[in-house]
Amino acid sequence: MVDRSILPDFGVLRIIRRVGVHDLTLKDHARAAIQLLSPQVDHRCVYTHLGWRHIGEDWCYLHAGGAIGAHGTVEDITVAPGAALAAYALPPPPDEETVCTAIRASLRLLEVAQDAVMIPVYAALWRAVLSNVDCSVHLVGPTGQGKSEIAALIQQHWGAAMDARHLPASWLSTGNALEGIAFQAKDAVLVVDDFCPTGVKADIARQHKEADRLVRAQGNRSGRQRMRADSTLRPCKPPRGMILSTGEDTPRGQSLRARMLILDVPPGMMEWNALTLCQNDAAAGVYTQALAGFVQWLAPRYGEILQGLPTELRGYPET
């Protein structure tokens, strides 16, 4: 249905009536008529992804609440990443003393569990912000051992509301939905929670297939190709951040697992008292202050880091 209140008076309605209300191309004719006959058109730029963007002469880090640059909050930038990523909202970067305090609080995450788990997953947090990630991190272990809680503490650096019960993605989502979210969550951690294939054999195979699709796309930094109705190719949507997943099982396949850093979370590993303290800091927004301060510090250096990072990574031996 065409909302007549938004149409100009002169000629548009006659054009729409002429093409017929049942014409499949009605919306295209209406759009063309509005564009041609509207006397004034307002233009707005709305970004629909997170992460770094070169705007003007400066690098800015986009989040659901706006953008952060070298001088703090950047005005007049609108970001609308969609409902799934609406909680990725950073505060204005605080002063230097507050940032230092927030980073010290963030470092206490290393006390939540053994180093074999916490050091890699904590490093993944900061690595995600630097862009060009070609691996995933997967926390695996029995239920009730704190996997989702660890992942949530990492995720809450991007938004205090994303606790273990409000994570942005789940393995129960469809493959297309996960692909779209992972594409929009650029230069950020995306927690995909609870990989636990259940049901009949076909259901289990389908869930492993969906996991293979997402993790392999992350490792290869390539998206699934699709065609439009006119046989032209649609732009692919590869993951552009860091996927941090949790589950009681691990996706199958030797080559797939080579694209993942798999961290076991066995019983007895968690320090529950330390976890509670960290959860309080995360809920209070302390972790978002740490990340906001970091991206502000990184903004004037990001172009140089982006160019030098591939060369630096090639210097490390592959394992």
The verdict on 54 and 152 lying in the same domain is no
Angle, nearest 10°, between helix axes 201-220 and 175-184?
20
The verdict on 115 and 208 lying in the same domain is yes
The verdict on 109 and 142 lying in the same domain is yes
The verdict on 204 and 297 lying in the same domain is yes
State both tokens at 290.
């740490």
The CATH number assigned to the domain holding 247 equals 3.40.50
Cα(67)–Cα(74) distance, rounded to whole angstroms?
5
Q: Is residue 194 part of a domain?
A: yes
The verdict on 55 and 177 lying in the same domain is no
Cα separations in angstroms, 213 against 1, 207, 261, 295: 38, 10, 16, 30
Task: Work out the widest C-alpha separation in the chain, in whole angstroms.
Answer: 74
For 260-316, write each residue's pLDDT tens digit. Answer: 999 999 999 999 999 999 999 999 999 999 999 999 999 999 999 888 887 777 777
> How many secondary structure helices (H) and strands (E) does the chain include?
11, 11
Q: Is residue 182 part of a domain?
A: yes
- Whose CA is closest to 162, among 174, 150, 171, 153? 153
At residue 2, the pLDDT reads 46
Q: Report if pTM > 0.85.
A: yes
Q: Is residue 319 part of a domain?
A: no
For 184-212, write each residue's pLDDT tens digit. Answer: 999 999 999 999 999 999 999 999 999 99
For 70-96, write each residue's pLDDT tens digit. Answer: 999 999 999 999 999 999 999 999 999
Number of folded domains that form the chain: 3
The verdict on 29 and 137 lying in the same domain is no
Q: Is residue 87 part of a domain?
A: no
End-to-end CA distance of the chain: 58
Cα(167)–Cα(151) distance, rounded to whole angstroms?
9
Q: Is residue 151 part of a domain?
A: yes
Length of the chain: 319
The verdict on 16 and 77 lying in the same domain is no
The verdict on 59 and 149 lying in the same domain is no
Residue 59: which domain range?
46-82
For 94-133, write each residue's pLDDT tens digit. Answer: 999 999 999 999 999 999 999 999 999 999 999 999 988 9
